[in-house]
Amino acid sequence: MFRKLKIQLLLSASAALLLLILGIYCIARGWPVPGMLIMLLMCAYLVLLNLWFWRYVTDPIRDMTQTARRIAEGSYGTKIEQSYDNEIGDLAREINGMSEKVAVAEKARTEFISQVSHELRTPLTAIEGWAETIAYDPALQGDSLRGINIISKEAERLTGMVTEMLEFARIQDGRFNLRIELIDIAAELEDALFTYGELMKQAGVEVSYEQPANEIPLIPGDPERLKQVFLNLLDNAAKHGGDGQKVEVSLAEVPRGVCIRIRDHGRGIPEGELPHVKEKFYKGSSKNRGTGIGLAVCDEIVTRHGGELTIENAEGGGCRVTILLPQQNGDNNAK
C-alpha cells in the first residue's frame, strides 16, 4: 500500500541526501562558494518538498477525514473529490464506494421500516379497538378480563412503537416537516402534564410543576410536535426514573430563550451511555422495552426548532433533561 508515494518520498529524500553530501564534499575540498550554493539549493528543495507533501498528502488526508466524519454522523452518500492518481486517490474511491453502499442500505432500511410500520398499524388498531370493546362485556371476569386488559395494553404499546418508527422513517427520507406558529409554550407544557400526569400519579409517581416566575411570551413552534416531545420525555421519566417515585418539571425564561427541565429521581444513566442516548436505536443497558428511537425523534424536533436538547445526570441522583427553545425560530427549513 502507498507504493507510489513511498517511491516518490524515497527518491525525494535520496536527492536531498545527495545534495547534502555534494555540498559537504565541496566545502571539504576548499570550494566554499559552490558548497554554500548547493546547501542553499538543498534548503530550497526541502521547502518545496514540504509544500508538495502538504498539498498532495496532508490536505487530501484532512479532507478525507472530514468527509469520513460526516459519513459517520449520518450524511450517507457524501463523496470525496477524486483528483489524485495515487494511493490517496485509491483510498478516496474506496471511501466513496463505501458511502454509496451505506446510503443504499440506509434507504432500504428506512423503506422497510416504513412499509412494515404501515402494515402493522391497521391490525394493531383493530386489536386495540376490539380488546377495549370486549373488556366492557360484564360476562368477562377474572383471568379472562385480565388477559383482555393485557392484550389491550400490549397493543397500545406496539402502536406507540409503530408510530415512533414511522416518525423515524419520515425523518430519514425528508418528509418530516414542522408547522410553525406562535404558541403559548406554558399552555402546551401544562396540557401535556394534564394528559400524562394523571397516569403517572396512578402509577405511584408524584409529579411537581414549577411555574415560570413571569409570563412567558409567545414563541414560534409546532404545538403538536412539541407536545410529542413533552409526552415522550415524561414517559421516559416515569419508566426509567420510577424508582424515585418523583418527577419534577419546570419552565423558565432565560436569556437564550425558553428553558424546560424534566427531572426524575431514579438511578440515572451510566456515564458511558450518556453520549449515546440520543442516537437512533440505542437502548443501552435499560431493561425497558422500546425501539430506541424516541429520544432521537425528540432531539430532531427540538433541533428543527433551532433549540437544544441535553440529557445529563442530576446532582443527588436521577436524570435531568433540558430543552432550550429560542424565542425566534432559527430553522428556515421548517414548513
Residues 80 and 11 in one domain: yes
Strand 319-325 versus strand 308-313 pairing type: antiparallel
Residues 10 and 72 in one domain: yes
Please write the tens of the pLDDT for every residue from 99-136: 888 888 877 777 777 777 777 777 888 887 888 888 88
Asked whether residue 22 is domain-assigned, the answer is yes
Q: What pLDDT sits at residue 99?
A: 84
Query: Quick check: 1 pLDDT over 50?
Result: no
Residues 253 and 314 in one domain: yes
Asked whether residue 330 is domain-assigned, the answer is no
Asked whether residue 249 is domain-assigned, the answer is yes
Mean pLDDT check: name the lowest of 24-28, 106-110, 227-231, 268-272: 106-110
Q: What pLDDT sits at residue 200?
A: 77
Residues 127 and 74 in one domain: no
- Out of 85, 103, 121, a domain closes at 103
Asked whether residue 259 is domain-assigned, the answer is yes
Residues 159 and 220 in one domain: no
Mean pLDDT of 290-304: 81
Q: What pLDDT sits at residue 326?
A: 92
Asked whether residue 335 is domain-assigned, the answer is no
Alpha-carbon distance of 220 to 184, in angstroms, equals: 9
Torsion (CA) 249, 253, 254, 256 in degrees, nearest 10? 110
Cβ neighbours of residue 284 closer than 8 Å, sequence gap 6 or more = 269, 270, 273, 276, 277
- Out of 55, 83, 103, a domain closes at 103
C-alpha distances in angstroms, 207 versus 139, 193, 235, 246? 37, 9, 12, 6
Which residue carries 442500505 as its cell? Answer: 105
Strand arrangement of the beta sheet that strand 206-210 belongs to: 206-210, 246-254, 257-264, 319-325, 308-313
Q: Which of 2, 5, 9, 38 is nearest to 22 (CA)?
A: 38
pTM across the whole model = 0.60
**Residue 80: helix, strand or coil by DSSP?**
coil
pLDDT category, 275, cuts 50, 70, 90? confident
Q: Which of 258, 256, 196 is nearest to 227 (CA)?
A: 196
Grid coordinates of 213: 416566575
Residues 317 and 256 in one domain: yes
- Out of 103, 121, 139, a domain closes at 103
Residues 218 and 288 in one domain: yes
Please write the tens of the pLDDT for every residue from 135-150: 888 877 788 888 888 8
- How many structural domains compose the chain? 3
Who has greater pLDDT, 48 or 292?
48
CB 305 within 8 A of CB 313: no
Residues 97 and 121 in one domain: no
Report the largest interatomic distance among the alpha carbons of the chain, rounded to a whole angstrom: 118
For residue 247, the 8-state DSSP code is E
Please write the tens of the pLDDT for every residue from 234-273: 888 887 765 657 888 999 998 888 999 999 888 888 888 8
CATH number at residue 211: 3.30.565.10
Residues 61 and 192 in one domain: no
CB 307 within 8 A of CB 324: yes
Asked whether residue 204 is domain-assigned, the answer is yes
Instruction: Tell me the residue range of the domain where 270 lies.
Output: 181-325
Helix (H) or strand (E) holding 228: helix 223-240
Residues 155 and 201 in one domain: no
Asked whether residue 334 is domain-assigned, the answer is no
Mean pLDDT of 30-35: 79
Query: Quick check: 293 pLDDT over 80?
Result: no
Residues 99 and 140 in one domain: no
Residues 210 and 272 in one domain: yes
pLDDT category, 335, cuts 50, 70, 90? very low
Asked whether residue 332 is domain-assigned, the answer is no
